[in-house]
Amino acid sequence: MAMAVTSSAHRLVAAASLALSSSSSASAQQPRRALLMAASRSSHVGGARDLLSAKQRISSSSSAKAAAPRASASGTVNASPSAAVSPSASSQGATSQGVKQALISLSDKRNLELLAKGLGDLGYKLVSTGGTATALEKAGYSVTRVEELTSFPEMLDGRVKTLHPAVHGGILARRDMQPHMDALQQHGIGTIDVVVVNLYPFYSTVTSSNVDFETGVENIDIGGPSMIRAAAKNHKDVMVVVDPDDYSEVLAKLQSGDDGDNSFRRRLAWKAFQHASSYDSAVAEWLWKHQRDGEETTDFPPSLTVPLTLKSKLRYGENPHQRAAFYEDKSLCEFGAGGIATAVQYHGKEMSYNNYLDADAAWNCVCEFNNPTCVVVKHTNPCGVASVGPNQGLLEAYRLAVRADPVSAFGGIVAFNVEVDETLAREIREFRSPTDNETRMFYEIVVAPSYTEKGLEILKGKSKTLRILKAEHTKKGRRSLRQIGGGWLLQDSDDKTPEDLGFRVVTSKVPTLELVDDAQFAWLCCKHVKSNAIVVAKDNRMLGMGSGQPNRVKSLHIALEKAGEEAKGAALASDAFFPFAWNDAVEDACKAGVKVIAQPGGSMRDQDAIDCCNKYGVSMLFTEVRHFRH
């Protein structure tokens, strides 16, 4: 039986060859090849149906060519006025049968039935692929599968479906160029007027757990980006849609006849190219990271694309005369990394540019601490920090953090690294400023990892404007990007903690374990203070800090002034080494009664600092790690 089918197929091929042997012109070669290919394929697909289909296409093509305008020797087209293509051909669906076609191929199938019904009601023939076609058929819609359009089966496990002239010719042909339309007619290709495509879920696949390299590669979409780019390039004639949220507006434009709106089409084209660009950036980031088997590279890439998604337009920037917006970083390395960018706002006014900066500073600082901690921030600097033991409530930590500098805390941001319950919420709502014990403390933002139901209800009652945020703990190992004029600076995040360091004793006076704990707490706070930074701390609470001064001596004096008499017996931390000691910052700290100083060391005058501490009976610890913060 198989031999009989094969013999029959051979006869079909021979017949096709004889039938076309009289046609030797170059223009006939493509139809001849199509007929021969169809005859050859019939041995695999069960008979002469492909041959008949090919004959019909060739017949149609031949009739069309007889009526088509001829090119002169100079290459110009001699056409009668009636043969010119109408500028409105794109909205009419310029197939030979006048049928408008919409190609739909989706991974994200949200609102699919809305789209299909709308296009069907407008007379569009639905062309689709794979799972999208199946979904449409199950919903009761008539669908032409793309392999019917191309007369070629899907192959290579789905890698090749739409990469075919019958698809891309129908998308890319310019309706206002007669040679383009003649070429479609010659090859029996209809126009595709709407392309609705989104891509394989590469991002969600590679960010899920335990994904092997081959699975990642197979989720790199090829045909989808090709169709998106083709339709976006030819957006004047083809409406390209990549976002399910745009379906209603697209259908409304098509129904009203306003689908020729260039600004709308260009916006869709921009969104399409942006969609493909963000997709490609994720693929590039992933491949760079996995370029070696079994090992993830940490090298900085020679080029870098950062995909940003608009999250909100802000009222203004750092100042009212500056425009501003907030974008979320959708890089793979930021997936699940926590932080303020992904925080949920439960209450209050919309976030401002400065709110985001301050909230980010407060959250990054409080996430550094293992014990329950409260951090108060003003203008990105922590002005109050206090921790309590694991089994203690946060009430005392909150009070101590505010008392470190109640003037600065007023109008600041308060962050907690544990849940806010009813008791703490009531304290935040009612707490009076330690400056007069009368003025109720005002805050811009409260941020925590969670809230009890009653705690959130009470906190909302403090103020209509109080912004209440829930954030995920910031993960370590992130990159840090910062813009300068004409470029960007990229560095690893500063993830060092006291547990990573030695705190080497360099003086004759050895500190007690309690003083070492105070020094480590002060050092961790100092890491988040703008340089030049000095922090004075004791018993897991900040007593005073000096920040952002051009010289370290001035920062020291500010920190000691805020600490007052409590500086006696306290620990002091510096973000960088002391260039001088005698009659300078080190001696001033010793005279103020500080009992231990933690600093990186590394100055050519380190010995002067050691000698000075030895004279006053003060301990000094070298961390050998600097913490500049600009």
> What's CA 268's distance to the chain center, in Å?
20
Q: Tell me how long the chain is.
A: 630
CA angle 281, 286, 292 (to 5 degrees): 140
Residues 373/405, Cβ–Cβ less than 8 Å: no
Tell me the CB-side half-sphere exposure of residue 204, using CA atoms within 13 A.
Answer: 5
For 303, counting Cβ atoms within 10 Å of its Cβ (0-12 exposed, 13-18 middle, 19+ buried), the class is exposed
3-state class (DSSP) for residue 437: coil
Element (H, E) at 373: strand 373-378
Catalytic pick from 109, 233, 271, 554? Answer: 233
Helix (H) / strand (E) element for 422: namely: helix 422-430
Which 8-state DSSP code applies to residue 140?
Answer: T
Contact 573, 522 (CB under 8 A): yes
For 57, 518, 572, 621, the CA distances from 515, given in Å and listed in that order, are 90, 5, 10, 11
**Is 100 a residue of the active site?**
no
Q: How many CB atoms lie under 10 A from the CB of residue 480?
A: 10
Provide long-range contacts, Cβ within 8 A and 24+ apart, for 420-424: 420/394, 420/446, 420/448, 420/450, 420/451, 420/452, 420/455, 420/456, 420/459, 421/451, 421/452, 421/454, 421/455, 422/452, 422/454, 422/455, 422/458, 423/393, 423/395, 424/393, 424/394, 424/395, 424/398, 424/455
Question: Crossing angle of helices 165-172/223-233, nearest 10°?
Answer: 20
User: Which of the residues 65, 379, 496, 554 is marked catalytic?
Assistant: 379
Phi/psi at 467 (5° precision): -85, 125
Q: With b meaning 16 or more CB within 10 Å and e meaning fewer, what string describes 84-102?
A: ebeeebbbebbbbeeebbb
Residue that has been written with the tokens 């058929």 in this structure: 137
Rounded CA gap, 607 and 532, in Å?
A: 21
Hey, what long-range contacts does 140-147 have (CB within 8 A, 24 or more apart)?
141/116, 141/117, 146/103, 146/105
Q: How far is CA 592 from CA 171, 400, 536, 582, 616, in A?
A: 78, 22, 11, 14, 11
Pair of tokens at residue 267: 């916006």
Q: Which H or E run includes 610?
A: helix 606-616
CB-based contact 128:196 (threshold 8 Å): no
Alpha helices in 46-154 (DSSP H): 49-67, 89-92, 112-121, 130-138, 146-150
Known catalytic membership, residue 233: yes
Residue 405, beta-bridge partner list: none
Q: Could you give the residue numbers annotated as active site?
A: 233, 379
